Amino acid sequence: MINKLHKVLTTPINLKRKDHTINDEALFSESQLISQFPGVLCVKDSHGRWLQASDELLTRVEIEPTSFLGKTDNELMEYPNSNQKLLSLNHQIELKAWETDSQVKESILLKYESGDIIEVELTAIPITKTINSQSRLIVCGKFSNQSNKILDKLYLLDSMFNFSHLSFIILDKDLNIININKAFKTLTDLSFDDVYGKNLSHINIGKNHELSTQILKSFHDEDFDLWEGEIICPNEAKGAILAKLEITRIINEDNITSHYFATLIDITFQKKNEKRIRQIAHYDGLTGLSNRVLFMERLNQSLSECKRHNKSLILFFIDLDKFKEVNDSYGHDIGDKVLKESANRFLSITRKEDIVSRFSGDEFAILFICEKPIGQILFEASIISNKIIKQMSNPFFISNKEIFIGSSIGISIFPDHGDSVENLLKKADIAMYEAKNRGRNNFQFYRDEFSIATNNRLEIEKKLRQAIINEEFKLFYQPQFLLKDNKIWGAEVLIRWFELKQDFKKLVSPEIFIPIAEDSGLIVEIGQWILEKACTQLKLWMDSGLPIKQISVNVSARQFMDSGFVNSVSNAIKKSGIQAQDLELEITESMLVGDIKRIELQLTRLKSMGVKIALDDFGTGYSSLSYLKNFPIDVLKIDQSFIKEMTADSKDAKITCAIIEMGHSLDQKIIAEGVENEEQLLFLTQRGCDIVQGYYYSMPLPVNKMTEFLKLPR
Ligand code: C2E
Ligand code: CA
Ligand code: CA
């Protein structure tokens, strides 16, 4: 038998794949012999093609005796009903046997429809250097069908390995792949043949070429039980996928690592989601710049780095000038485009390592790390600031519009101005506020006096709240005269704050507290009080028959734009019982720029009530005259600066004349304020000014003094 078998193995086989010409004569007896071999037996050539097979094996793999000749395991697996698992094992041990050039033994469990579990053990024996260099592979096997609990368990484990949706890899002690499951094939599009015997690094197409070495080192040197990491695997459809790789080691009875077991999970989607969430949480959706949260994080990190390496850090806090006006007059779409373009301009003048962030609304921040000595840092910061200012002063061309904004920049420096994130930010913010105060479109390095000013501002704001409760405000009235008959026409209402100190009252100028009341929003409440008080006072004077026809009440921008303003005017009129035309509201030119529709609506509602509108400080604000045409303005109040410097042929005199003429041509009354001497009065009278007001006639007076003033015979 062995001799015959040997003959079979050593006889050259004239097998041609295409014509399947077989030396039938020579093989007949041997093939009969092998087919009747009482067990599992198969002979393959060096290409894995089946040459001989026992009937028992054919029955086991469910292949017809006429169908196997010249076929490989993979081809036989394609036959319907063929036992894929067995053929697959046959194939696996074939690869291993040729690779190791030695006998290989492996077993699997097969479950039959009857429920029987059978353990199959296949042994592959490579026979090389036969006659004519033909090599052969003999596979024989053993079937044991003791169906017991252990086999059941083993079968279950085997099924779990194969059918799990998780990708499994079994690796030898050097991390060479010795088995994979179906899920692995689906995930990577790599077949058993593609990966068998290859090192784990083979399935990582990412940049880490040292992967296996690192993993083994972790297990050996650091005594890892579990190694976790991310790798990039090939995938036919997607090109590549990001996968989470987890490896555990399998230790044998002698406490030696015999194998490794790895799982692979596709985390491409999860990573993308994480990235998206991070993007949303850390970046500004509109400009793509880092947001406040990320900026603070980076600032913190940079600060630690600067402390460690003795570097300096420059923090620029930038607020766009006039952005609100752009947003209000052109709409949010254009406003958004201005913000985007601004972000690009900031990026264009910074280095890759600088951090540019949109902090909020129209506020931006730039973080700049510098290794130069402090003297040069100031110089460097000035250069950058000048670049920013220049960039931001260039017009923005958006939707066929030429838009001008600007930027105010506050700068704080580590270590000079503080060593904490909060401190540096606060100081850059204070410096920015100062840049705004100094006429915008400029930059300021933080200085301690700015803080004092800010602290004062906060202090005053606190006291203002108290002043409302304590009723520390008083209204003063400055008489206005009609030049035509030199009689009292009305009075401008001017607020005074007598701040309660321990044993005296301190007079605080409205020029100091009104802007703070504006900033804090307290002006809305204070403004309403002024309106009601002033209207009630006018009614008292009128009822007493005193010669006063109207009062002019100053209105601040914030108060005017407040949604409740028109109502509060109407309430004050109703409550006091005056006529609407007895009330004049003084607004400034700067309040007519911005949300044109809203302004127009507010003005029309006031006008339809019968209230008069005066433009205060006329000639000093925005010099666009179009609002004189578009808005219902009754009175122009020439700014005192023109009156002050006015001599017969000065430029101020010419401007004053022009305002009077222009106003009259638009049916508007002209008031000149700040009239202090007879010369000014004479000039204004000659030029046809309607109403005058100023120290020449009277200072602003408290109620009782004003009542006396009104009673004076004229
Ligand atoms: P304004 O509306 O331009 O008020 C005129 C200012 O000129 C007043 O200063 C007034 O006292 C002063 N003045 C009047 N006649 C003369 C003069 O002949 N020569 C000079 N040099 N000055 C004269 P005041 O009362 O200190 O008010 C300053 C600013 O504070 C006001 O400027 C106004 O903008 C604001 N303000 C005052 N009262 C109120 C108020 O009740 N509400 C609001 N929103 N603002 C007010
Ligand atoms: Ca005024
Ligand atoms: Ca004024």
- Cβ atoms of residues 434 and 411 within 8 Å: no
CA of 554 to the centre of ligand 2 (A): 5
CA of 639 to the centre of ligand 2 (A): 9
Q: What are the tens digits of pLDDT across the range 498-510?
A: 998 888 888 999 9
Site residues for ligand 1, CB cut-off 6 Å = 478, 493-495, 509-511, 514, 530, 554-556, 616-617, 640, 673-676, 694-695, 700
CA of 621 to the centre of ligand 3 (A): 11
Mean pLDDT of 150-156: 75
Write the Ramachandran bin of 8: left for phi over 0, alpha for psi from -120 to 50, otherwise beta. Answer: alpha
CA angle 144, 191, 268 (to 5 degrees): 120
In the chain, what percentage of residues exceed pLDDT 70?
93
DSSP state letter for 165: S
Q: What are the tens digits of pLDDT across the range 251-291?
A: 887 888 999 999 999 999 998 888 888 888 899 999 999 99
Q: Which protein residue's CA is at the shortest distance from atom 7 of ligand 1?
A: 674
CA of 589 to the centre of ligand 1 (A): 16
Strands 136-144 and 167-172: unpaired
Closest atom, ligand 1, to C-alpha of 530 = 41
Q: Which protein residue's CA is at the shortest distance from atom 3 of ligand 1?
A: 617
- Cβ atoms of residues 575 and 583 within 8 Å: no
Q: Is 678 helix (H, G, I), strand (E, B) or coil?
A: helix
Q: What are the tens digits of pLDDT across the range 664-695?
A: 999 999 999 999 999 999 999 999 999 999 99
Rounded CA separation 567/331 (Å): 26
- This model's pTM is above 0.75: no
Domains and CATH numbers, the chain: 2-144 (3.30.450.20), 167-272 (3.30.450.20), 283-446 (3.30.70.270), 478-495+523-711 (3.20.20.450)
Rounded CA separation 442/411 (Å): 11
Q: Is 707 helix (H, G, I), strand (E, B) or coil?
A: helix
Inform me whether the pLDDT recorded for 161 exceeds 90: no
Closest atom, ligand 1, to C-alpha of 693 = 15
Task: Report the chain's mean pLDDT, rounded to a whole number.
Answer: 88
Closest CA to 587 of 625, 550, 635: 635
- Which residues are CB-contacts of 93 (< 8 A; sequence separation ≥ 6)? 104, 105, 106, 122, 123, 124, 139
- Closest ligand to 585 CA? 2
> Which range is least confidently modeled, 10-19, 516-525, 536-545, 636-645?
10-19
- Closest ligand to 700 CA? 1
- Cβ atoms of residues 123 and 104 within 8 Å: yes
In the chain, what percentage of residues exceed pLDDT 90?
60
CA 580 to chain CA centroid, nearest Å: 51
CA of 151 to the centre of ligand 3 (A): 101
CA of 555 to the centre of ligand 2 (A): 8
- Which residues are CB-contacts of 661 (< 8 A; sequence separation ≥ 6)? none
Q: Would you say how long the chain is, in residues? A: 714
Structural element, H or E, at residue 616: strand 612-618
Rounded CA separation 359/345 (Å): 16
Closest atom, ligand 1, to C-alpha of 555 = 44
Inform me whether the pLDDT recorded for 114 exceeds 80: no
Closest CA to 466 of 522, 422, 393, 410: 522
Inform me whether the pLDDT recorded for 19 exceeds 90: no
Inform me whether the pLDDT recorded for 11 exceeds 80: no
3-state SS record for 518-578: HHHCHHHHHHHHHHHHHHHHHHHHHHCCCCCCEEEEECCHHHHHCCCHHHHHHHHHHHHCC
